[in-house]
Amino acid sequence: MVYSVMKRIIDQSIPEMVINSTECQWNPADNKVLKDGKDVTFTPEPNRRYEVLLNNFKAIHATDAYYPALPTYNQRAFELNMEIPEADVEKLFVSLITSPEIKQVAELIQKRLGRNLEPFDIWYDGFKARSGLNEDDLTTKTQGLYPTPAAFQADMPNMLRKLGWSAERASYIASKIQVDPARGSGHAAGAAMKGDKARLRTRIADKGMNYKGYNIAVHEFGHNVEQTVDLYDIDYYMLQGVPNTSFTEALAFLFQKRDLFLLGIKDNNPDKEHLASLDALWSCYEIMGVSLVDMQVWRWLYTNPDATPAQLKEAVISISKEVWNKYYAPVFGSKDEPILAIYSHMIDNPLYLPNYPVGHLIDFQIDGFIKGKNFASEVDRIYTLGRLTPQAWMQGAVGNPIAIEPMLKAADEALKAVGK
Ligand SMILES: [Zn+2]
């Protein structure tokens, strides 16, 4: 049913009167609206979704003249913002989504679901590690440890020591991070100059920090460590930071994954790592396809700058079906599915989507490289490389450019271990 709703959003046949309203009943499959049990006539939402995207294009297109070296937004999104050429990114994506491992993982998912794959199984989440631990018990523990932001602050040197930093180094890093109460879920803001502190914002309820809040706080703590190490321990100020957000997210996730370890809890699911590898590959398969649609839509916009919202809609739908038929239909069986066009990110944040899979690859590669090594000294070494270009940073960090091979290799091992 949710997929039916999505298709109505994509082709804009969704009745305007059912959006944000509980007045009528709507059957998304046959697109009928009922009020008091009777059929009512309706008008569909008038291509609003594509009008927003088109307006974004028009605004961005108007700034092209000010970038003579990079006159299209595709060039700027990749060469200027991500600092990796679009063609290189596309090549990485296509080689992953056409890899034989994808088909093998799809077969495993089919087996686990006990039915044929449906298009929405691009969001299959059965590989997500579920530790089997009770969240309420974890919350009791985190509430006891961290009743206030100050308690979390006081424990930071101890947490860093558990991760492998020396007592002296742990206090040094922790002394440059200030924990503040948050109204939102959590946030990390780096300092902009030496002498200032990075901010770790964490939400703490009346009874203390719950497990969800703790899990997020540990993620933010990872950001803060990156923000501190690559500001304070970098010799040249202009090199402070990381190449782009993917690189700070990588360290945040490395911390977050160790949240139970920091609580002194052993997670004894032997397949956890293998399942995480399969989950990473399947997530990349999904988000890379969505990204390819985003990239092609922008190329289409540049060749059709005077399109109407209705023409843009048709183009988005046909591009998403093309990408589906090329890379997903051979795996899923069904053809002409428009599902890859559903992301609202593509509408309101043009060409941001490709950053996610590139981030997944970086994260996976660093995680794999650090495995079995001293976590603290590797983090110190890698995160003092500074704000190089992404490929130069990766070369320095793990000895290779950004690549899909580590993820495919891990998937091969995981398929052997859990694929029976
Ligand atoms: Zn983050």
How many angstroms does the Cα of residue 219 sit away from the middle of ligand 1? 6
User: Could you tell me which of 409, 406, 412, 404 has the C-alpha nearest to residue 95?
Assistant: 404
How many angstroms does the Cα of residue 186 sit away from the middle of ligand 1? 9
What is the domain class of 135-258 according to CATH? alpha beta
How many angstroms does the Cα of residue 390 sit away from the middle of ligand 1? 18
Ranges assigned E (strand) in 105-226? 177-181, 186-189, 198-202
CA distance 142 to 154: 14
pLDDT at site 63: 97
pLDDT at site 269: 76
How many angstroms does the Cα of residue 356 sit away from the middle of ligand 1? 12
CA distance 258 to 218: 8
CA distance 181 to 24: 42
Q: Tally Cβ neighbours within 10 Å of residue 321.
A: 20
Residue pointed to by tokens 């609206």: 33
CA distance 382 to 22: 53
One-letter identity of residue 281: L
How many angstroms does the Cα of residue 105 sit away from the middle of ligand 1? 28
How many angstroms does the Cα of residue 254 sit away from the middle of ligand 1? 11
Question: Per DSSP, what are the bridge partners of residue 40?
Answer: 33
How many angstroms does the Cα of residue 216 sit away from the middle of ligand 1? 9
How many angstroms does the Cα of residue 253 sit away from the middle of ligand 1? 7
How many angstroms does the Cα of residue 246 sit away from the middle of ligand 1? 9
pLDDT at site 131: 63
Composition of the chain by helix, strand, coil, percent to 5: 60, 5, 35
How many angstroms does the Cα of residue 257 sit away from the middle of ligand 1? 13
How many angstroms does the Cα of residue 199 sit away from the middle of ligand 1? 13
How many angstroms does the Cα of residue 221 sit away from the middle of ligand 1? 9
| Rounded (10°) angle between helices 211-232 and 375-382 | 50
How many angstroms does the Cα of residue 225 sit away from the middle of ligand 1? 12
How many angstroms does the Cα of residue 19 sit away from the middle of ligand 1? 32
pTM: 0.88
Q: List the chain residues with pLDDT less than 70.
A: 129-131, 420
Residue-wise pLDDT for 305-358, tens only, equals 999 999 999 999 999 999 999 999 999 999 999 999 999 999 989 999 999 899
How many angstroms does the Cα of residue 82 sit away from the middle of ligand 1? 17
How many angstroms does the Cα of residue 177 sit away from the middle of ligand 1? 16
How many angstroms does the Cα of residue 374 sit away from the middle of ligand 1? 23
Residue pointed to by tokens 């049913």: 1
Residue-wise pLDDT for 11-57, tens only, equals 999 999 999 999 999 999 999 999 998 999 999 998 999 999 999 99
CA distance 385 to 397: 8
How many angstroms does the Cα of residue 43 sit away from the middle of ligand 1? 41
pLDDT at site 336: 98
How many angstroms does the Cα of residue 258 sit away from the middle of ligand 1? 15
CA distance 84 to 64: 19
How many angstroms does the Cα of residue 247 sit away from the middle of ligand 1? 10
How many angstroms does the Cα of residue 166 sit away from the middle of ligand 1? 25
Q: What is the DSSP letter of 82?
A: I
User: Could you tell me which of 229, 404, 68, 120 has the C-alpha nearest to residue 221?
Assistant: 229
**Domain range list for the chain:** 2-40, 51-128+272-418, 135-258
How many angstroms does the Cα of residue 48 sit away from the middle of ligand 1? 31
How many angstroms does the Cα of residue 56 sit away from the middle of ligand 1? 26
How many angstroms does the Cα of residue 220 sit away from the middle of ligand 1? 6
